[in-house]
Structure 1
Amino acid sequence: MKYKYLLLPLAAVSATAGIAAAHVFWVLLLFLLYLLFIIVKTKQYAPVIVCLVSFCVYFFLYTVCDAANVTRYQAGSYTEQAVITNIPKVDGAKMSAVIRTHDKEKWAASYKIRSLEEKRLIEQLEPGMRCTFTGSLEQPAHATVPGGFDYKEYLYSQQIHWLFSVTSIQQCEKSKQPLFKLLNIRKNLISIIRNHVPESSAGIVEALTLGERFSIEDDILSAYQNLGVVHLMAISGMHVGLITAGLFYALIRIGLTREKAGILLLLFLPVYTLLSGAAPSVLRASLMLGFYIAGTLVKRGIHSSAALSLSYLLLLLFNPYFLWQAGFQLSFAVSASLILSSSILKKAGKSRLAGLAMASFIAELSSLPFLLYHFQQISLVSFPMNMVMVPFYTLFVIPVSVIGFLLLLLSRQMGECLFGMFDLVMKPVHDFITYAASVDLFTMIVSKPDFLSLLLLAVSVFTLFAALEKGGFLKLRKSALFFCAVLAYLICRPYFSPWGEADMLDIGQGDSLFISAPHRKGTVMVDTGGVIAYPGESWKEKRHPYSIGEKVLIPFLNGKGVKKLDALILTHADQDHIGEAGVLIKNHRVKRLIVPVGFVKEPKDQNILNMAKENNIPVAEAKRGDTITAGDLQFQVLSPESSDGRSKNDSSLVLWTVFGGVSWLLTGDLESDGETEVLKTYPNLKADILKAGHHGSKSSTSEAFLKQLQPEAALISAGKENRYHHPHEEVLDRLKAYSVNVLRTDISGTIQYRFKKGAGTFSVFPPYDIEETRAQEVKKTAD
C-alpha cells in the first residue's frame, strides 16, 4: 500500500482530534476538513478508515474517562486509612503527598509539621505506606488571576478532586508491592545525592539521573527557563539514549551477545522510567527506544515516525489527560518535527556543527506555538545558547552526572571527589547562565495568543519547514517573510486593541491594581501585594517559598504581553502593598518607580529604593497637587501633602483618575483621619468607583467619606478568611446604606473592568468558578 507508512501518524493526529473534540466539540469541524483532505490526497479507503476509527476510539475513551472522573466525597472532616502513592515532599514545616483512599480515590494531602523532631519522623514516610489520616477536605480553587497556574485543572487532570488538610498521621505500615519498592529506591537514591553532592550541584545531578528538580535553586531554574535551555534539565531522548548506549556497551564488553543485551535493555527501560519519575518526555523516549530494540531483536526495523506515533497512541490510551500537559505537547511536537525534517537535516551537510545548528533551529521553530501559548515568552538567544549548552551537557554534564552517581553507589569517597570537581565547573557556568538571563534584551514577551493567532503561527511554521525541505531561495524568502509577519502581528496585537482595562488582582490579603490604556498607550500597576513574613526557626524555612511576584504578577503581565510597566506606583511601605516590588524590579519589569513623599518610615523601607537605583530605574516622590502621567493615563495626587511620621496608612498615596467613562479614587490604606484631611482639601470631591481603604477595615471608608464621594461601586481587596476579618461588617453595612455595589476579591477573584471609548463593564475572573459557597457569600453581601 502506497500510504502504509502514514497510517500510524494519521491515527495519532486523529486521536488528538478525537480527544480535543470530546473537550471542545467544534474541533469536529476541523477533523472533517482534515478527513476531506486525506480523501482528496490519498484516494484510498484504508487511511480514511484508520482516521475514523482512531478518532472515534479516542473520542469515546476521553468521554468515558471524563464521565468517570468524579468524586464520591463531600467537604468535611474524615478519618481515612489511605496509601501514600508518591514520594512525600517536605519543604520547611509542610509535608505534601498524594494519598489513595480505600475506594481508590486520590487526595492531595498536606500536613503542617509542628516541631523539628516531628519533621524527622515525617521525612521517614515512604511511598506505599498505609496510614490512618485525620483531617478535612476542601475543594481546590481555579486560578483567580488571569495567566496564573490553574491548580484545580491540574489536579483534575490527575483525577484528584480534593485538598486534604491533615491534622494527624498514625499507624503507618510499609508496603511490599514492587511498584512502591521502586519508588522507595528512588527516594533513597535522591537522599544519597542530597547528602553527598555539593548543594549547588545536587539539583542538576538529581534532575539528570532521577528526573527530580526539587533541589534546583529557583534562580537557576528560572534562568534556564528564560534562556530556552530548561529542556536540558529534563530526562528526554538524549539522556535515555546516552544512558542506554553506555549500558549496552558495558553489557557487550562483559561478553553478552547483542540479543541478550537487547533483552536486558528492554527489562531495564521500564525500571529506569519509574526510577526517573515517569515524566512524559521519559515515557516517550523509553517507549520509542523499546520499539527500536524490539524491532532489532525480531529483525524487523521500525520507522521513527511509526515508533513516535505508536508511543503517542499508547500514552494517550493509558491517560488521555496527557494531551493537555505542556511537557507532553513539547516533547512530541519537537520529536515529530525532527523526524519529519530528516531531509532538511541531511541537506545541512556532514558537518556536526551544521547539523546541530539545523536541529536546534527546527526544535526552536516547532516549539514556538506551544511556548507562546503556555508561557508567553521566548528567548532571543535560545538558539546560540542551545548551540553551546547542548554539546556541553552531552559531552560533560550528563556523562559526569551519571558516572559520579554510579561512583557514589560504589564508593562514597570517590563519588564525592568527582562531584567536588564537577561543582567547580558548574558554579561559573551557572553564574554565566543567571547573568545572561538577567539581560533584558534577550527576552521577548508576547500576549497569550487566541486560537486563530495560534493557528496562523502554526501554519507559518509549517510553510517555513516546507520551504526549507523543497529548497529554492524565492520560496524560502516568501515563507520567512510570512513567518516574520505573523510573529510581528502577535507581538503588536495588544497595540491594535481599542480596549483598555483595570484589574484588581486577587493576591490574597494585600492590594495590586493593574491599569492599561487602549492601544497599550500606558500601563501602570498600583501596589504589588506581598506576604507578611514572620521570623521563625530555621527548620521551618522553605526551600521554595511562595512568591506572589513570580507566581502571579509576572505570569499575569506575560499573558497581557507587558514586558515593562510604564510606572509602578507604591502607595505606602506596608509589606502587603510593596512586598513583591523587588521581584518586578529585579526581573526588569518596571520603567519608573513612584512613591509618596516620606515613603521611608523605617530602615527596611529604603531597600526598595536602593534596589531600583541599582537597576537604573528612576524613582520619583509624589505629593498633593502633582500629576502622574503614564502614556494616556493620568493620576491626580490628592494626598499626602508632606511626610507624616505618625501613620503609614494615612501617608498613603491617594490618587484620583478618569478612564473608561468613570472616575476612580484609589486610597491605599487611608484611614478616617486621612479621609477627613482629603475632604477638607477637596470639598467637592466625587468618585464613581472607590477602591475602599485598608482592605475594608472599619477604620476606613467612613460615612462622611461615602456621603461626599457618592460612589456607585466599591472595590475591596482582601484575602479569603483573613485573620483580620476584612472587610468588616460595619464597612459593608455603610456601603449598603449608601447603595454602593461591592466587588470583593476574596469572593469573586480578580475584579476586571474593560472599557472602550468612554464606556466599560465589570466582570470577574474566573467567570466559571462560582461554587455554591461563593454564590451564597455574594448573595449575603448583596442583601
Structure 2
Amino acid sequence: MIYLIKFFTHKTLFYALSILVAAIAAHESVRLLMLLGLLVLYCIYRRIEIFHIISVSVLGLVAFFYFSILLKDLNKPLQLPTVLTWTGEYKINGSKLRGFMEDDEGRIVYVLYEFQSEEEKRFHQSIPLVGKQYVVEGVVVEPSKPPHKYAFSMENYLKGKGAKGILEISNWRFVKTKTSFSQRISSHRYKLIKHIESTFPQTLTAEAQALLIGYQEQVDHETSRAYQILGITHLFAISGLHIAIVSFMFFQGLLRLNVRREIATIVLIVILPIYAILAGGTPSVWRSVLMVELVVLIRYKSHLTVDDALCVSFICFVLLEPWSIYQVGFQLSYLATAALIFSSHIINRFSSWIVQSFFITFVCQLLVYPLLLFHFYEMSISSFMVNIPFVPLFSFIILPINILLLVLTFLPGPFASIMFWLYEPCRLFITKLIEVLQSLPYQLWNPGKPSLFLLAIAFVGVFITFYLLDIRDKWYKVVISLLLPILCLHFSGKAFNELKISFINVGQGDSILIELPFQKEVVLIDTGGLLRFQQEEWKMPSPPYEVGRQIVVPYLKGKGINVIDKLIITHADADHVEGAEEILKEIKVVEIHISPGSYKKEIMDDLITEAVKQQIPIKEQLSLNHWKVQNVTFQYVWPDETTYEGNNDSLGLYIKKGNFDALFTGDLEKEGEYELISKLPELKNIDLLKAGHHGSKTSSTEEFINQLNPSLTIFSAGENNRYGHPSKEVVERFNQLELSSLVTGEVGTIEIKVEEEQLKLETTYTRENQ
C-alpha cells in the first residue's frame, strides 16, 4: 500500500482534520462544516471502525461550538478604562511601543502607545514589560486597510493572533507586576537577550539571539533578505532539528553527570516547555517541543507512531489557540514536518548523505511550495542545493558553538574572549560567502500569487508526485506531474490579452503600473516615496518605513512581474522617486527614463548610484520621443526644454491603443497645463487621465479639463493627507463638469483593464464597472 494511503489509515489524522475543519468553520462560516460531512463519508469509505467515525463527528461538532464561543468572547467590546497585562510579544521602535496585552478574561488586545519623551522610552527599554499591569485609557480603532491585495494586512495578522482591533493608548498608569511561571521565564528571556547584547561581539549578537532564544529583532533586513533568496531562512528560526539537537545535548549532559536515564527523560520533558517559553513561544517552537516530547514518550512508554504524534500535537495546539491556523509559520511548520515523516522511507532508499540531504530539502519544498507562493509570491530555487551544506553547518557546528559561547560568557576568565577571537573571523567569512551566493542572478522563482483554484491544482500535483515516487514509477511521469502545475502557475499571471493599468495606492505619492497583453512590456511610472521631515533621532524607527520595498515591490511580485522594461521617473520629488532604489534591488529594470536635468537633484542620488552599480541605462526624455510595442504607442508630450525647474518639468506620457488613450501628467501644474494644451490642441476627449500634482488646486485647471474631457480621472493621493489633496475646489470642478474621478486614498489601488471599447475597473475596497 502506498505511503499516502497508509497516512490516511492513522486514526489520529481524522481527529486532527475534524479539529481543523471546526476551526475554519468557526472563523469563516458554519457552511464549511459540510467538509466535516465529507470527512465522515471518507471514513465510512475507508471502513474505519464505527466508534472512530462517531468520535470524529462528535469531536468536530463540539470543537466548532467551543471555538465559536471562544471567538464570540474575543469579539466583545473592550470597556475602557481597563486593566491590561503585557505579554511577551511587544516591540519598541522609534517613539512607539507596539504589542499584545491581555485582559482579566484572557483576551488578547493589540496596543499602540507613543512615548512622550526620550527618558520614558529608555525606561521601558531597560525593563522587561511581560507581566506588567496597567490601567489604560484610549480608543479602539479598526486596523488600517491594506493598500492593495498583495500588501501586508494588519487585519489578517491580528486574526492569526486571536486579537481584534487596535487599542491606541492615550494614558496609562502602572498597577503591579503580575507574577506567574511564564512571566518569570519571560523575564529571564529578557535578561538573556540583554546578556548576549553585552557579552557577544556586535557581529555575532543577532545570530546568537535568534538561534538560542528565537529573538530576531536584531537581524537586519539585508541579512534576512539574503537568507530568503538562498532559501535558508529556517536556519535562523528555532526548528524541530534545532530542538532535537538542544535536547540531545542536554540529555547526554545529564547522562554524563551519572543521572539515571529515566530521571533524565523526566527532566527533559519538564525542561522543554520552559525552553519553549524562553525561546519566544512561537508556533514552530511549540510544535517542535511537542513533537520531541511525544517522540521521547513513544520511545520509552508508548506505542504512538511519529505521524500520530504530529497529529496529536496539532490537535493540542489548535484546541488551545484555534486562530493559530491562520499563522503562516504554523502552516509551513506542520506541512514541512508532515513531508519529512511521510516520505522518510523514500529518503532512506538512498545511502549517500548528499542525496538524502537533497531529497530532504526536495520533499519539504515540494509540499510547502504552493503555500509559499500564496503567502510570499516567490520561492528560492537555489535552496535545493544550498541547504545541503548549510543545514549541517548551522545545526551541528554553528548552533553548538553558540551554545558553548553562551555558557562561556557566564564563566570567569578569558575563555569566552579567546573563543570569540577564534570564531568571529570564521563566522564573518561565512557571512561574506552568503552575501556572494545571494548576489547570483536567477535564484528566485516569482510566478505571482496563485488563485485558490491554482493552489488546489498545485497540491494535487504534489500528492501525485509523492505517489509516483512511492511506487517507483518512471521518472518522466514524476517530472510531468511536477512540471504541469508549475507551468500553469508560471504562465497564469501572464495569460491576458488586454492592456492593464494599475494606480498603486502608495499613500501621498505616485506609482502607476502599465502591463501590455501577456506582459510583453511592463512600464512603471514613478515609485512612490515619503517626504521625510526632520525629527529627533530617538523618534526615528529602525529600519525606516520604505514605500518601495513595503508597498510597490509586493504588488509587482504579487502580479508575477520579474522585469520592468521601462522605469519612468516623472520628476525629482521624494513622493515619486524615493522608492526607486528598493525596487531596483528587488526587480530587474531594463532602462530608466527621467526628465532632463532632474538627475542633478539630491533626491535622485540613491537611484543613480544603484542604477550605475547595476549598469542600467538612464535616458533623459523630451516631448515627441516615443516607442511602440504591439499595437500600443507610448509618446512623451512633455517637457519641451532641458532645464529642470520642478513640477512643471514632469514627464508627461500619452498612451494610445486602438480607440483608447490615456495621459499621465506627473506633478504638472497650471502653467505646464496651459502650454501643453496650446501645443497639442488635438489632445481632447481622452479616456483616462492621471490628474497632475495629486489634485492640487495649482493644477487641473478648468481650461485643461474642458479640452481633455476625460472619461475617468484618477487622483493619486493619500488618505487624510496633510495637504488636503485632492483639493475640494478641484473635485467640485470635476463634479460640475459631470466627470468621473477616483482617489487612491479612498478606494485603494485602482486596476483598469482596457478591453476593446470598454474599461473594466476594480479597486481594493470596492468593485465597479464602467
Q: TM-score range by the shorter chain?
A: over 0.9
What residue is the counterpart of 1:682 in the other structure?
Answer: 680
Contact 1:142 1:151 in 2 (8 A): yes
Secondary structure (helix, strand or coil) at the match of 2:564 reads: coil
Secondary structure (helix, strand or coil) at the match of 1:42 reads: coil
| Range 164-173 or range 278-287, more displaced | 164-173
State the distance in 2 between where 1:499 and 1:335 align: 43
Letter in 2 for 1:371: L
Q: Match for 2:21 among 11, 17, 22?
A: 17
| Superposition map of 1:388-427 within 5 A | 388-411=389-412, 414-427=415-428
The TM-score normalised by the length of structure 1 is: 0.92
What residue is the counterpart of 1:63 in the other structure?
Answer: 68
State the distance in 2 between where 1:413 and 1:424 align: 18
| Superposition map of 1:144-543 within 5 A | 144-171=147-174, 173-297=176-300, 299-349=301-351, 351-411=352-412, 414-472=415-473, 474=474, 476-543=475-542
Shift of 1:499: 4.3
State the distance in 2 between where 1:271 and 1:434 align: 35
Shift of 1:3: 9.8
| Cα deviation digits, residues 496-545 of structure 1 (max 9, x gap) | 22344222111111111112122222221111101122344443443322
Q: Match for 2:650 among 646, 649, 652?
A: 652
State the distance in 2 between where 1:408 and 1:560 align: 49
- 1:41/1:84 CA distance change after superposition, 3 Å: closer
What residue is the counterpart of 2:696 in the other structure?
Answer: 697
- 1:244/1:120 CA distance change after superposition, 3 Å: same
Letter in 1 for 2:459: A
State the distance in 2 between where 1:664 and 1:336 align: 52
State the distance in 2 between where 1:41 and 1:146 align: 41
Shift of 1:224: 0.7
Contact 2:132 2:174 in 1 (8 A): no
How many matched pairs? 760
- 1:3/1:711 CA distance change after superposition, 3 Å: closer
Show structure 2 runs of 5+ residues with no match.
Answer: 1-5
State the distance in 1 between where 2:89 and 2:161 align: 16
Shift of 1:38: 3.8
Letter in 2 for 1:213: Q
State the distance in 1 between where 2:622 and 2:414 align: 64
Secondary structure (helix, strand or coil) at the match of 1:86 reads: strand
Secondary structure (helix, strand or coil) at the match of 2:661 reads: strand
Letter in 1 for 2:677: L
State the distance in 2 between where 1:661 and 1:429 align: 58
Shift of 1:374: 1.0
| Cα deviation digits, residues 747-771 of structure 1 (max 9, x gap) | 1111221333342222210349x9x
Shift of 1:31: 5.4
Q: Match for 2:91 among 86, 89, 92?
A: 89
Shift of 1:114: 4.4
- 1:508/1:216 CA distance change after superposition, 3 Å: same
Show structure 1 runs of 5+ residues with no match.
Answer: 771-783
| Superposition map of 1:630-641 within 5 A | 633-641=632-640
Contact 1:592 1:618 in 2 (8 A): yes
State the distance in 2 between where 1:52 and 1:421 align: 60
Letter in 2 for 1:671: E
Shift of 1:43: 6.2
| Superposition map of 1:99-178 within 5 A | 99-101=101-103, 104-125=106-127, 126-171=129-174, 173-178=176-181
| Superposition map of 1:571-610 within 5 A | 571-610=570-609
Shift of 1:347: 0.8
What residue is the counterpart of 1:52 in the other structure?
Answer: 57
Contact 1:522 1:631 in 2 (8 A): no
Q: Match for 2:668 among 643, 664, 670?
A: 670
State the distance in 2 between where 1:92 and 1:3 align: 50
| Cα deviation digits, residues 127-177 of structure 1 (max 9, x gap) | 111224444432112312121111112113323223233344443532322
State the distance in 2 between where 1:659 and 1:115 align: 57
- 1:377/1:25 CA distance change after superposition, 3 Å: farther
| Cα deviation digits, residues 292-344 of structure 1 (max 9, x gap) | 223445x3242100110000111111111111211111111111111111211
- 1:576/1:632 CA distance change after superposition, 3 Å: farther
State the distance in 2 between where 1:311 and 1:528 align: 46
- 1:445/1:380 CA distance change after superposition, 3 Å: same
Secondary structure (helix, strand or coil) at the match of 1:410 reads: coil
State the distance in 1 between where 2:602 and 2:552 align: 26
| Cα deviation digits, residues 207-227 of structure 1 (max 9, x gap) | 111111110011011111122
- 1:764/1:652 CA distance change after superposition, 3 Å: same
The TM-score normalised by the length of structure 2 is: 0.93
Contact 1:671 1:694 in 2 (8 A): yes
Secondary structure (helix, strand or coil) at the match of 1:85 reads: strand
Letter in 1 for 2:207: I
Contact 1:10 1:50 in 2 (8 A): no
| Range 329-338 or range 123-132, more displaced | 123-132
Contact 2:564 2:587 in 1 (8 A): no
| Cα deviation digits, residues 53-98 of structure 1 (max 9, x gap) | 3433444344333333314149xxx654432223542223322232
Shift of 1:685: 1.6
| Cα deviation digits, residues 217-261 of structure 1 (max 9, x gap) | 110111111221101111011111111111111111112111111
Shift of 1:732: 1.5
Contact 1:209 1:401 in 2 (8 A): yes
Contact 2:235 2:394 in 1 (8 A): yes
Letter in 2 for 1:614: K
What residue is the counterpart of 1:773 in the other structure?
Answer: none
State the distance in 2 between where 1:694 and 1:120 align: 41
Q: CA RMSD of the aligned region, Å?
A: 2.5
Shift of 1:28: 5.3
Secondary structure (helix, strand or coil) at the match of 2:46 reads: helix
| Cα deviation digits, residues 455-496 of structure 1 (max 9, x gap) | 111111112112222214x2x321221211221121111232
- 1:250/1:57 CA distance change after superposition, 3 Å: same
Contact 1:661 1:758 in 2 (8 A): yes
Q: Percent identity?
A: 28
Shift of 1:19: 3.1
Secondary structure (helix, strand or coil) at the match of 2:97 reads: strand
Secondary structure (helix, strand or coil) at the match of 1:591 reads: strand
| Superposition map of 1:552-567 within 5 A | 552-567=551-566
State the distance in 2 between where 1:423 and 1:732 align: 61
State the distance in 1 between where 2:7 and 2:546 align: 53
- 1:632/1:326 CA distance change after superposition, 3 Å: farther
Secondary structure (helix, strand or coil) at the match of 2:753 reads: strand
